[in-house]
Amino acid sequence: MKKALAGIAAVTISMAALTGSVQAAELQTASAAAASAPRMVSSEAPQERAGRAPAAATLQKPRALRPGDCIGIVGPATTAGDTDFSKAMDYIHKLGYRTKLAPSATAVWGYFAGTDSQRAADINNFFKDDSVQAILCLRGGYGAARVLDRLDYAEIARHPKMLIGYSDITALHAALTQRSNIVTIHGSMLTSFKGDYSDYTAKHFAQGLTNTQVPGAVPMPKGEVMETVVPGHAEGTLIGGNLTMINSLVGTPYAIDGRGKLLFIEEIGDAPYRIDRNLEQLWLSGLLQQVNGIVYGEFYDCTDDVGPGDFTLDEILAYYGRLAGVPVMRGLPVGHAPNNYFLPLGTHAVMNAGKDGKAELILDEAYAK
């Protein structure tokens, strides 16, 4: 028995040594392969996928503003706290508009601008209020998604008007364009005008409120250009907004339907690996496989936390563009950077991403009447 056990032990030791040698060899082979592998590159060629849906039906359009119209200020998300908005209010008044504050504009409930019910009621009431011609969000932060199941989408659809905001307000854009079938505006909020703001932002905000014409090609701030990531031509209804918010809606009844759409994405203050994670979620959810094209806006302050050998933001954005197999461009002056264009969501647009590296986004449908 002792001899048998000794024999088994010897065989076990021998097998362990062999296994260790094989594992070591595999690790060496894997390490060598990794060292020679190309940087983040999609295994799929950047070509048009079959089965992409045509653009959706035309959404209801709001009325453009006229001098003397009233802009309702609502707080769908984080509270204003003790922030001084007097300069911002002066700016709106100097444009020739009156303002009306919803209770949520000054309310505090934890870190929210009032309870979920209060914030939702303010949005519902301002849409129904015929004395209010447009709705300007106080600020972003967090909280807009918490009111989505409390909105009266049918009533909102009966009173289409501009709802303007960005960042966390992406949740409202997604819900209102899909549930109420109205065009919304991804644009500067009241908080955008409480301090310094660029001439570009102010100019296009003021023009955007009154424009009833087809906007045409998005104009660029001086010294900035839009660039091709994946060349090609695409068109469809423009949707999207903040990457984190788009990602947070996946799996909910308010998730973005990308069929027949151009997907616009922007972000602020996220490390590249987090952007990678969020884009991977959009890929796994099927959204990136639905869209006709991708338009990257500002990724403001998103280049920190990159160690030696890590994938860069540029590599990550290019990877998911190629993986989606659609035309992709970047550099749209929309998002959290100082230059923030007045961008309609829910209207038709055309993107041209040239092989020469130059790109343009053409808004070829009027968004207001």
Q: Which residues are catalytic?
A: 167, 266, 336
Q: At what angle do helices 313-324 and 272-285 cross, to 10 degrees?
A: 10
DSSP 74: E
Residue type, 84: D
DSSP 170: H
Q: What gap in Å lies between CA 285 and CA 291, rounded to an integer?
A: 12
Three-state DSSP state, 287: helix
Residue 42, CA distances (Å) to 38, 201, 233, 318, 324 in order: 10, 36, 20, 9, 9
Q: What gap in Å lies between CA 60 and CA 207, rounded to an integer?
A: 20
Residue 7, CA distances (Å) to 18, 20, 199, 351, 360 in order: 16, 20, 85, 73, 75
Token representation of residue 325: 């197999």
Q: Minimal CA–CA distance to 138: which of 87, 189, 173, 172?
A: 189
> How far is C-alpha 288 from the geometric centre of its chain's CA atoms?
13
Q: What gap in Å lies between CA 111 and CA 259, rounded to an integer?
A: 35
| Gap between the terminal Cα atoms of the chain | 95
Q: What gap in Å lies between CA 279 and CA 287, rounded to an integer?
A: 10
Q: Minimal CA–CA distance to 246: which of 257, 260, 235?
A: 257
Q: Residue 237 pairs with which residues in a beta bridge?
A: 261, 348
Token representation of residue 225: 């250009």
**In the chain, which ranges are continuous DSSP H helix?**
2-36, 86-94, 116-128, 153-157, 170-175, 199-210, 243-248, 272-285, 287-290, 313-324
Q: What gap in Å lies between CA 159 and CA 165, rounded to an integer?
A: 18
Token representation of residue 182: 């109205």
